[in-house]
Structure 1
Amino acid sequence: MTFVQVIDCKTHQADKLDRLMDNWVKATQGKRTATHSIVGRDRSDSAHVVEIVEFPSYEEAMKNSRLPETDRIFRQLVEICDEAPTFTDLEVSRDEQLNTGVARTFVEEVINRRNYDVADALCTPDYKEHDPALSSYGIGLARAKEENREILEAFRPRLTVESMIAEGDLVSARLSYTGRHVGPFKGMEPTDREVMGTGHVTFRCENGKIAEGWWNWDDLGLLRQIGAVDV
């Protein structure tokens, strides 16, 4: 179970605190078990600094705390604090990646179930789609729905999200698909051939909606499978 430690301290030497964090990251490279660290400063009290450190589990956090580098940096941290820092240990009971949720819904509803109009609720009105397979690199939502409808109806693909990561307002997913060429595609009549392939998408989100999407697919591999090219 994911474990989070919250370190709460008061210091008027925030620049030294930043340097300490940099030193800890460098000194524990290849040894630390922490997976994520966030440092924030209280807007109403600039001396109030909070660090949130994430670990895969409590046991991994304990391994990290026993590192000599961690102990050394902690002692230096105490020296620059106005008072002794406090620690809050949290077992994570719920972890919601909200932007990944809207990305998964887009894949499942718009692509797999072909509920095209659901995209209107999931995307911002000024959504832009970047896909070299489409007529222009950077088209709006209405045109993206129209052009993607032709592709989806031609192959009836089923997408699988193989992995997904999120950072800030960006969500990136590694995808695979299987389908069958059952409809016209770019002037080519259906061949009834099975197709499969891989791709990636990166979404940029704004206020819980998708504002931009960058798609990349193995288009050459698809064309080979339906006999459109022989290379």
Structure 2
Amino acid sequence: MTFVQVIDCRTSKVDELNKLMDNWVEATRGKRTATHSMVGRDRSDPTHVVEIVEFPSYEEAMRNSHLPETDRIFQELVAACDEAPRFTDLEVLRDEQLNKAVVRRFFEKVANERDLDAVDDLCTADYRHHDPSMSSYDLGAEQAKQEYREFLEAFEQTFTVESLTAEGDTVCARLTYEGRHVGAYRGMQPTEREISSTCQATFRLEGGRIAESWWNSDDLGVIKQLGVYAS
């Protein structure tokens, strides 16, 4: 279970605290078990600094705290604070990564359930789709829906989201898909051949909706599987 440690500090030496964090990151390279660290300062009290550190589990957090480098930096942190830091240890009960959930729903509804109207709910009105395999690298929502439909109906794919990685307003997806060539597609008549391939896509979100996306897929690999191209 994910474990989070919250460290409350009172200090007039914020720059020194930042340097200590940099030193800890460098000193524990290849050793630390922390997966995410964030430092924030209270807008209403500039001497109130909070660090939030995430670990895969409580046990991994304990391994991290027992590193000699962690202990040394901690002692220096205490010296830089105006009063003893306060620690809050949290077992994470719920972790909603909302942007990732929107992207996952995009593949569930649009790609796998063939609900093209879901694009209107999941994407912004000025959504832009960027894909070198489409008729244009810059498509609006309506044109993108039309070309999605042609592609999905021609190959009857099932998409699997292998991984999603989120940072800020951006979500990156790694995908695999399997299908069968059952319909005409860009001049290619149905071959009834089965296909499997990989795809990567990056999404930018605004206000909980997808505003822009960039796609890269193994189109040459698919063409080879259809017997259209011989290497």
What is the TM-score when the length of structure 2 is the normalising length? 0.98
The alpha carbon displacement at 1:166 in A equals: 1.0
What is the aligned partner in structure 2 of residue 74 from structure 1?
74
* Equivalent in the alignment of 1:56: 56
Counterpart-to-counterpart distance in 2, 1:230 and 1:31: 48
Partner of 1:108: 108
- Distance in 2 between the 1:142 and 1:46 partners? 48
Deviations 1:162-196 (A, max 9, x none): 11111111111110000001111001111111111
The runs of at least 4 aligned residues of structure 1 exceeding 6 Å deviation read none
Equivalent in the alignment of 2:229: 229
| 1:87 maps to amino acid | F
Following superposition of structure 1 onto structure 2, how do residues 148-227 of structure 1 map, counting pairs within 5 Å? 148-227=148-227
Shift of 1:216: 0.8
The SS at the match of 2:45 is coil
Question: Which string of whole-angstrom CA distances, capped at 9 and with x for unpartnered residues, describes residues 123-166 of structure 1?
Answer: 01111111110011121111111111111110010000111111
2:17 alignment partner in structure 1:
17
Cα offset, 1:204, TM superposition: 0.8
Looking at structure 2, the residues matched to 136 and 46 of structure 1 have their Cα atoms a distance apart, in angstroms, of 50
Deviations 1:46-87 (A, max 9, x none): 111100000111111111111111111111111111111100
- For 1:144 and 1:191, locate their aligned partners in 2 and report how far apart those are by CA, in whole Å: 25
Measure, in 2, the Cα distance between the counterparts of 1:193 and 1:16.
63
Residue 28 of structure 2 is matched in structure 1 by 28
- The whole-number CA distance in structure 2 between the counterparts of 1:4 and 1:142 is 43
Q: Identify unmatched segments of 5+ residues in structure 1.
A: none
Q: Aligned pairs, how many?
A: 231
TM-score (norm 1): 0.98
Q: CA deviation at 1:227?
A: 2.1
CA distance, structure 1, for counterparts of residue 53 and residue 130 of structure 2: 35
Aligned to 1:141: 141
The residue that corresponds to 2:46 in the other structure is: 46
Cα RMSD over matched residues? 0.8
Residue 228 of structure 1: how far off its partner (Å):
2.1
Shift of 1:29: 0.5
Find the aligned partners of 2:63 and 2:113 in 1 and give their Cα distance: 46
